[in-house]
Amino acid sequence: MTPGARAAAAIGVLDRVLAGEAAEKALTNWGRASRFAGSGDRAAVRDLVYDALRQRRSAAALGGGETGRGLVLGLMRASGQEALFSGEGHAPAPPAASEAGRAPVGAEVLDLPDWLVPELERSLGERLAPVAEALRARAPVFLRVKLARGTLVGAQAALAGEGILTRPHPLADTSLEVVEGARRVQASEAYRTGLVELQDASSQAVVAALPLAEGMRVLDHCAGGGGKTLAMAARAKLRLWAHDAAPRRMADLPERAQRAGVKVTLTERPEASAPYDLALVDAPCSGSGSWRRDPEGKWRLTPARLAELVGIQAAILDRVAPMVAPGGWLGYATCSLLRVENGDQAQAFLERHPGWRLEAERSFTPLEGGDGFHLALFRRS
């Protein structure tokens, strides 16, 4: 496919996304219907679609409208590639006079919803503009090295042998950032044999900050796919339980745990195995810290949904707190940049639970390289 044909394909996919179809589904359907497209073509179209979603407001302004054509035209104008709209072969038709576009203004420049800017300003202060700029770009690919199976240097060498170049990342002592060959990772021997796992560097840093010790009874209450469960297991020999409100999210965890040589007990009722020495609540949240990876989430979030999430977070913390043994720890984490989900939520927990104290709190933003994350670490009296 020519660059122009790839742009036209991205326009078609984006029109389906703007009509309500999930981006992954729309891309999959396009790929199945476009057998002529090679792997490079599919990757290029995917990148265009996700870049357009990350930069949806500014691209729409530059391209003259919030349509698939407008978004791709805006991207091309921003990067000096408007000539791709030539009408030649399978390329999009040249821009009409009505598609002159304009410079983005206000929150369009930041590619953020208007309603969320005041909360982000309260949360980030002077970092708002650079963080918003970071969220407009593709996220790096990070790997977690299982130090029980090898060293960072050894993992780098093994990956390099398969054309995957990496460098250590300062956020975590287990973290490698992929700088070349990211699309080869999941087919690599290092990945298949469990030497490395895909995991964001900030997520690894959250686990590294937990007070883990040999023999601890640990609950991962919102386990999902189990990334943090396994990361905790890699740091100490623990007795591990994993729970999720939607058990199907943990469907792959037993196989992943077996590959890692770790025993994890899945439980639908974590109260039955309490008390725990440490409980980790990686709570449902806005996902604002990971909008580089899920740009659709930026535009789906509403004030009502944010308020609902804050209520869910508080309810989970109230449920888990009694499961922690006296002197035990509760880690509250979100992949959110919003104070209402982070510092405010931590303070509200302390006000409801006077038998707890806040021992540590740390925020990460994409400016440090990984996703936006927040960790509040409480200890029970």
In Å, the largest CA–CA distance within the chain is 72
Residue 137: closest CA among 53, 46, 22: 53
Cα–Cα distances (Å) from 120 to 35, 57, 112, 263, 341, in that order, read: 43, 17, 10, 40, 11
Amino acid at 195: L
On whether the CB atoms of residues 77 and 65 are closer than 8 A, the answer is: no
Closest CA to 146 of 71, 66, 204, 188: 204
Return the SS3 of 216: coil
The catalytic residue among 234, 335, 338, 340 is 335
Question: Which amino acid is it at 380?
Answer: R
335 flagged as catalytic: yes
Is residue 22 within 8 Å of 296, Cβ to Cβ?
yes
- Distance CA(124)–CA(126), nearest Å, equals 6
Q: Among all residues, which ones are annotated catalytic?
A: 335
